[in-house]
Amino acid sequence: MARILILSSTLVAVVLGYYLSRAIYNLFFHPLAKFPGPWWASASYLAEFYYDVVQGGRYFAVIARMHEQYGPLIRINPDELHLNDPFFYEHLYAGSGQKRNKDKNNAVLSGTTLALNTTLDHNLHRERRGYIASFFSKQSTQRLEPFIQGQVKKLVEKLRQAHDAGDTIVGIQIFGALTCDIITHYAYGESFGELDKAGFPCQLERDATQLLLSGHFRRFLPAVAGLLQRLPERWITWLNPAVATFFDLERKITDLCHQARQRQDMKVSNSDRTIFDALTGPNVPEQEKSLARLKDESQLVLFAGLDTTARALTAMVCYMATYPDVLAKLRTELQSAWVHAEDQPSWRRFARVPVEPLPYKESVIPAGTSVGAMPWLLNRHPDVFPDPDVFRPERWLDAARHGQNLTRYLVTFSKGSRMCLGINLAYAEMYIAVAALVHNFDMELVDSTIKNIIPYRDYALSFDEDYSYGVNFKVAKVLHS
């Protein structure tokens, strides 16, 4: 018994000694030791684990407070710096001429390890981006516009029906149905038909939220997450019924991948081309056509195009319902684009890790250092956007009249070589949908406020205090039948 106690005590002492020595190294001898930040963040990952896993996605708020105390470039964990400087952002998130790798810790958040967005190496990322860049070009998006217009008309009709029935609408689900149908038609060649279903379900959007909420757990405990993934399907769905949606989706995507690989030597017209055809084209090396990679890339395209745009449209409804004076101005301005009452205007009518040392003011960021930057902070930086929490969309027009280009500092889609590929599609969806909603409806919030769309928790996308996002609303008035 005494021997066991001695061995146990020795083991505990060794473990504690190891972590203490690591903390001392991180604080005094690490290449990032000279950068400002609280000692408890620099010493270990425990603080980040506590705030993101135990407290639930709250470390982003802690980082914001760190910037207030320590300045624009701070150390937020032993191996990572964080930037809150809109005037230096373009140097960090630079174009293809500057090599920028991706931090391996942040790459696991989506769960798709072989996709473009989780590719660590700069050169491999550039190659993979090249395979599908033309698929997301502005020209390709313009070819999709008639389909987007058709889906938005379906959305308008469903909202008219909801008005007649007096239904309360969950914003993120109805707009999730819209974006799901568009991205699946575009990327997979067949729409999932969420807008054709009764009510406003969009099970895929609801279950995608559950996947996001496991992101920090998977990041800090990858071994446990990997073990859970190896469990039989029936066990996993018993533990989390929401996962059943993803098993069904994976089987569907697997079938589409097999079909694409079988027809890879056939010529496919631009109108019939899918993401699978782009990923299995003649310019793609054989090792990049593995089933695992095709599945990862196609899943990421779906989820990237699903929740993000749906959230933007949900926020738009919230702000329009809260600020009727802004809604009135926008509605007046849209009249010039609305040539015929029965038509919708075209969207065209609406006006990371550096591999070399990177100087920043008096400091030099060591090569290979992970440097993060939150759009939530940069898009609210008071030096660029005074009174950032005040909803004043005309600030963009006022700045333009004074020769300022605020778009240069808008980093919603990131910038540089890893800029979001789907930016053209996202803007097309938002312009067309917002125009239709503003033209056709007055909306009122139901048991919801702006607080429900303000970030409180960070899981790659934001959530409120109750681990949800978005507002409920009713169509108060139909303006055009």
Three-class HEC string of 65-89: HHHHHHCCEEEEECCEEEECCCCCH
User: Could you report the per-residue pLDDT of 14-45, keeping only the tens digit for each?
Assistant: 888 888 899 999 999 999 999 999 999 999 99
Specify the pLDDT at position 364.
84
276-290, 330-344, 378-392, range with greatest mean pLDDT: 378-392
Residue stretches of the annotated binding site for heme: 420
What pLDDT, on a 0 to 100 scale, did the predictor assign at position 476?
Answer: 95
Mean pLDDT of all residues in 80-91: 91
pLDDT of residue 347 exceeding 60, the answer is: no
Q: How far apart (Å, rounded) are the C-alpha atoms in residues 65 and 282?
A: 50
State how far the Cα of 32 lies from the Cα of 35, in Å rounded to an integer: 6
- Print burial letters for 417-454: b (CB count within 10 Å at least 16), e (below 16): bbebbbebbbbbbbbbbbbbbbbbbbbebeebebebbe
Sign of the alpha-carbon dihedral angle for 358, 363, 368, 370: negative
Which residue, 195, 105, 107, 186, is CA-closest to 151? 195
* Cα–Cα distance list, 141 to 188, 269, 416, 421 (Å): 15, 15, 21, 11
The answer on pLDDT for 168 being more than 80 is: yes
Whether the pLDDT of residue 100 is over 70: the answer is no
Side by side, the strands of the sheet bearing 73-77 are 73-77, 80-83, 370-372
Binding site members: 420
Q: What structural domains does the chain harbor?
A: 85-373+411-478 (1.10.630.10)
pLDDT class of 338 with cuts at 50, 70, 90: low
pLDDT the model gives residue 351: 34
Judge whether residue 444 has pLDDT over 50. Answer: yes
SS3 457: strand
Confidence category of residue 342, pLDDT binned at 50, 70, 90? low
Mean pLDDT of 273-296: 84
Instruction: Identify which has the larger pLDDT, 284 or 106.
Output: 284
- The three-state secondary structure class of 100 is strand
- Strand runs (DSSP E) across 185-333, as ranges? none
pLDDT of 340 higher than 60: no
How many CB atoms are located within 10 Å of the residue 241 CB?
11
User: What residues contact residue 292 under an 8 Å CB cut-off, 6+ apart?
Assistant: 114
- DSSP letter for 413, please: T
What is the Cα–Cα distance from 467 to 274, expressed in whole angstroms?
34
State the average pLDDT for the chain.
Answer: 86
Q: Which of 337, 377, 325 is nearest to 85 (CA)?
A: 377
Joined tokens for residue 90:
């373009």
- Mean of pLDDT values over 323-331: 91
Mean pLDDT highest for which of 60-69, 127-136, 269-278?
A: 60-69
Least Cα distance to 169 among 303, 310, 304 occurs for 310
pLDDT at 130 over 90: no
Closest C-alpha among 297, 309, 302 to residue 423: 309
